[in-house]
Amino acid sequence: MQATAPDPARVSEGWERILAALRPQLPSEQAFETWFRPLRPRLVAADLIELEVPNLFFVDWIQEHYLNALSEAVRSVTGGDAQLRFAISPELEVARETNGHAEAAAPPLAPLSPSHPETWGAPRRPPVVSTLEPRLNPRFTFANFVVGPSNELTHATCLAVAESPGLIYNPLFIYGGTGLGKTHCMQAVGHAVLERRAEARVLYISAERFMNEMIFAIQRGQQLAFREKYRNVDLLLIDDIQFLAGKDGTQEEFFYTFGALHEAHKQIVLTSDKPPREIKGLEERLVSRFNQGMVTDMKPPDLETRVAILKRRAAAYGHELSNEVALLIASRVRANVRHLEGVLVRLTALTELGRTKITVGLAEEVLRDYASADAPALTLERIAQVTADHFNVSLDLMRGKRRTSTIALPRQVAMYLARQKTGLSLSDVGAWFKRDHTTVLHACGKIDQVRERDPRVSSALREILERLERP
């Protein structure tokens, strides 16, 4: 006896009742319109619900996020635990695109089982793409990176990671101010890995783009493809990870991506403007994961390193920079490498347009036009005053005899920064603070020891330096 075809009117009515029961359980109206309004019922019975969906990604997303809610709605309408079955309907995909629900066609889907050409009960993963665009800047290699005291630890760590990705320092977390070379060093790891193994899957991306791609994938129902992209790389490089602060959904997605890569011994390199503990709005579980690897910082380059950077960049542009000109620019521009390059680019452009040589006079002219070039001169007095203002103490107390912790720490920080930034001797710094050179030596040693493990000290040093470097 041939089975009777289901009555379309009854199927539609039953599905509308299920939707009415489901709607209040969803987190938003947008979720309802995105994931359930496009579906079309094929059968609604006490023991079986068949639904047509636009593509495989709908199946994946519904089963992962809304299966319990959908099952509960079905149970409330049918009175039993009906089996849910999904079927691809190309017509629905076309309808979604025509109505503006999709911005582009979905990627090719995995073939369906020959024995069940239309229906299945579990999502299938699409094939992993064999090639990946790493998005690396060709200039950002180790060969073009100038090493100095401010970045030598980070440089050495990146070299070690490039030689043995996924085996040591995983994750590698690099932090520091703007324009100090974090992105350069990170991408140099990617270039080195590809040089050793051309087939390696390397991907560089900013945290903001990661979030935007995730949102786009959700809107198009391609969450599975998004995960396949990020969880099947050998080396993941993510810039400005602090951008994820406060964005709970993106943090959750990245947490599972991080876990999948780490468990597979795939290398992760991250950059930020702050160490993990100081990124407000970052989930504790991510902070813990970041700290389980290697955390290293990049500081503003010293005078010698700035001169070396200028000379190397000038040579890359086809110009020779005299020591006098390089010292002039490096002494005026201390904030970051990006500012150095900005001055140099303008200087070389002027010489090429005017067909003149790079002279001290021309450099002076460019520096005057470059927003006064940089911050005021770093004197011991200015360092001490900015430090005192940061800790809300007076200079008189810092130079006095009191040894309480509220005075001793600012005094030690000021001594440390004075030695780092002015080139004054231990005796000169001690004399200004009315101490001998051994006190300054002790202060510098103590700050150098605690700055990495004490968030208060590391934060104070960074904020004071940033203020000192402002024009």
Domain boundary assignment for the chain: 8-105, 142-298, 303-369, 380-468
pLDDT band at 274 (very low <50, low <70, confident <90, very high): confident
Taking the C-alpha atoms of residue 398 and residue 156, their distance in angstroms, rounded to an integer, is: 37
In the block, residue with structure tokens 């009854």: 10
DSSP character string of 65-101: IIHHHHHHHHHHHHSS-PEEEEEE-HHHHHHHHHTTS
Residues in the chain: 471
Among the listed ranges 157-166, 329-338, 439-448, which one has the minimum average pLDDT value? Answer: 329-338
The CATH class, in words, for 380-468 is mainly alpha
Residue 425 is predicted with a pLDDT of 78
Give the number of C-alpha atoms closer than 13 A to the C-alpha of residue 260, restricted to the C-beta side: 15
**Strands of 119-120's sheet, edge to edge?**
40-44, 48-53, 83-88, 119-120
- Please state which CATH number belongs to domain 303-369: 1.10.8.60
**Dihedral Cα 415, 419, 425, 428, nearest 10 deg:** -30
Assess whether pLDDT exceeds 60 at residue 232.
Answer: yes
In the block, residue with structure tokens 């379309």: 8
250-256 CB contacts, 8 Å cutoff, 24+ apart:
250/210, 250/211, 250/214, 251/282, 251/283, 251/286, 253/214, 254/210, 254/286, 255/283, 255/285, 255/286, 255/289
Nearest to 89 by CA among 134, 130, 52: 52
Tell me if the pTM is above 0.75: no
Residues 6+ apart with CB under 8 A from 423: none
Task: Name 87's bridge partners.
Answer: 52, 119
pLDDT band at 415 (very low <50, low <70, confident <90, very high): very high
CA angle 217, 248, 201 (to 5 degrees): 50
Which CATH superfamily does the domain covering 8-105 fall into? DnaA, N-terminal domain (3.30.300.180)
Residue 2 is predicted with a pLDDT of 46
Residue 307 main-chain phi, psi, to 5 deg: -65, -45
CB 268 within 8 Å of CB 170? yes
Residue 116 is predicted with a pLDDT of 31
Other beta carbons within 10 Å of 15: 21
Which of the given ranges, 71-85, 157-171, 396-410, has the highest pLDDT on average? 157-171
For residue 150, give both structure tokens. 């401010």
Q: Is domain 142-298 in CATH 3.40.50.1000, yes or no? A: no
Task: Name 48's bridge partners.
Answer: 83
For residue 354, give both structure tokens. 């005017």
pLDDT band at 376 (very low <50, low <70, confident <90, very high): low
